[in-house]
Amino acid sequence: MINELSVQELQVWANQQTIFLIDVREPAEYATGHIKGSNLMPLSQLNNYRNQIPHDLPIVVVCRSGQRSSMAAQWLESNGWSNIYNTRGGMLAWNKAGLPEER
């Protein structure tokens, strides 16, 4: 079972502890706005990034709405990663909450 974080919890985590944040949207989506410190690794190419994803940090995954990030989190778990968190509501929830993003 994959754990979930609210966008508010993610903001606190990103400021208080070391996490590895993966944004699985496509590059054009990422360019419109993303969370500071996130690593662009599109779901369609996630396997290509497997050597860049650490095993010793909590992994948080985000997308537009939470659907693709949930699929990415399941893929990570099935390929040996643990301590994985899906961001509930994705960037839609992040934006709705008025949280900061970079462009």
The helix (run of H) or strand (run of E) holding residue 92 is helix 90-96
Region 8-33 average pLDDT = 94
Instruction: Say what the pTM is.
Output: 0.96
Closest CA to 85 of 65, 57, 64: 57
Res 37: pLDDT? 92
**Alpha helices (H) along 6-83:** 7-16, 27-31, 67-78
User: Does the residue 103 lie in any domain?
Assistant: no
34: domain CATH number? Answer: 3.40.250.10
Structure tokens at 23: 């944004």
Quote the domain boundaries for residue 73.
Answer: 3-96
Is residue 1's pLDDT more than 80?
no
List the catalytic residues. Answer: 63
User: Does the residue 73 lie in any domain?
Assistant: yes
User: Does the residue 49 lie in any domain?
Assistant: yes
Count of domains for the chain:
1
pLDDT tens for each residue of 58-75: 999 999 999 999 999 999
Query: Which pLDDT band holds residue 14 (cuts at 50, 70, 90)?
Result: confident
Res 50: pLDDT? 96
